[in-house]
């Protein structure tokens, strides 16, 4: 195990160290999709979290600084996809372009959301609530339909991608 000197810092004046500390928390990688006047759009997010089983609620947080912010904060419906270890190319394409989702194999849900084929899990959501939260907004979705399959997840830790063998 890598051990080192513990750094203590004030996150309000040292955002690089704050970001590094947050990066110690290992997450999955999701793609959020929605429809827009420009057609289907997508964003990569690791702020996804489960919130409630009954009713079924999830959350994620778009950054106010994102050029895609207005698409996602204003949308009444969206879908969250948990990416598999073999879907890094989808992740890279969507980081480059919000409309790259048009080139990804998807199936259109009954309410018009693009659902990424072979994502490990997907959650179709109606917007439940938004909460202002500093430089982000917390978006809570009520899950109307979900899908999942077996497979190894794509993970993100310390600013890097990794894959996790689950067997
Ligand atoms: C692993 C990973 C997780 C991310 N998580 C979020 C997130 O939760 N919320 C967010 O607004 N942006 C997040 N981003 C950044 C967006 O994907 C960002 O929108 C994208 O890099 C392009 O910037 P733009 O939206 O200004 O065009 C994440 C990026 C990566 C690589």
Span 8-66, pLDDT tens digits: 999 999 999 999 999 999 999 999 999 998 899 999 999 999 999 999 999 999 999 99
Answer for the pair 54, 105: CB distance below 8 angstroms, yes or no: no
Are 30 and 82 contacting, i.e. CB atoms less than 8 angstroms apart?
yes
CA-wise closest residue to 71 among 46, 100, 37, 110: 37
Residue 62 C-alpha to ligand 1 middle, in angstroms?
8
Residue nearest ligand 1's atom 5 by CA: 45
- Residue from 48, 93, 95 whose mutation best tests the ligand 1 pocket (most atoms within 8 A of CB): 95
Ligand 1, atom 22, lies closest to the CA of 95
Closest ligand 1 atom, CA of 136? 11
Write out residues with Cβ below 6 Å of ligand 1.
29, 43-47, 60-63, 66-68, 95, 156
The mean pLDDT value of the chain amounts to: 94
Confidence at residue 2, expressed as pLDDT on a 0 to 100 scale: 60
Record the tokens describing residue 5, joined without a space. 């000197």
With 0-12 / 13-18 / 19 or more C-beta atoms within 10 angstroms meaning exposed / middle / buried, residue 158 is: exposed
pLDDT at 112: 81
Q: How many angstroms separate the alpha carbon of residue 46 from the centre of ligand 1?
A: 8
Structure-derived torsion over alpha carbons of residues 69, 67, 96, 42, reported in degrees to the nearest 10:
20
Residues 89-93 have a mean pLDDT of: 97
- State in Å: Cα 88 to ligand 1 middle: 14
**Cα gap 25→6, rounded to integer Å:** 16
CB within 8 Å of 163: residues ≥ 6 apart: 85, 152, 153, 154, 155
3-state helix, strand, coil in the chain (%, to 5): 20, 40, 40
Whether pTM exceeds 0.85: yes
How does pLDDT run across 113-150, given as a tens digit for each residue? 899 999 999 999 999 999 999 999 999 999 999 999 99
Architecture, CATH, for domain 27-150: Roll (2.30)
Number of CB atoms found within 10 A of residue 112's CB: 10
């Amino acid at each position: 195990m890598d051990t080192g000197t513990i750094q203590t810092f004030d996150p309000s004046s040292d955002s690089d160290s704050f970001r590094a500390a947050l990066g110690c928390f290992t997450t999955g990688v999701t793609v959020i999709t929605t429809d827009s006047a420009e057609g289907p759009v997508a964003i990569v997010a690791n702020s996804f979290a489960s919130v409630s089983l009954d009713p079924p609620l999830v959350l994620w947080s778009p950054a106010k600084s994102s050029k895609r912010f207005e698409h996602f904060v204003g949308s009444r419906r969206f879908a969250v996809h948990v990416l598999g270890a073999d879907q890094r190319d989808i992740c890279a394409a969507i980081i480059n372009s919000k409309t790259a989702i048009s080139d990804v194999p998807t199936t259109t849900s009954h309410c018009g959301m693009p659902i990424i084929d072979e994502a490990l899990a997907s959650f179709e959501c109606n917007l439940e609530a938004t909460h202002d939260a500093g430089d982000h907004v917390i978006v809570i979705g009520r899950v109307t339909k979900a899908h999942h399959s077996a497979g190894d997840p794509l993970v993100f830790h310390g600013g890097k991608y990794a894959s996790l063998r689950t067997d």
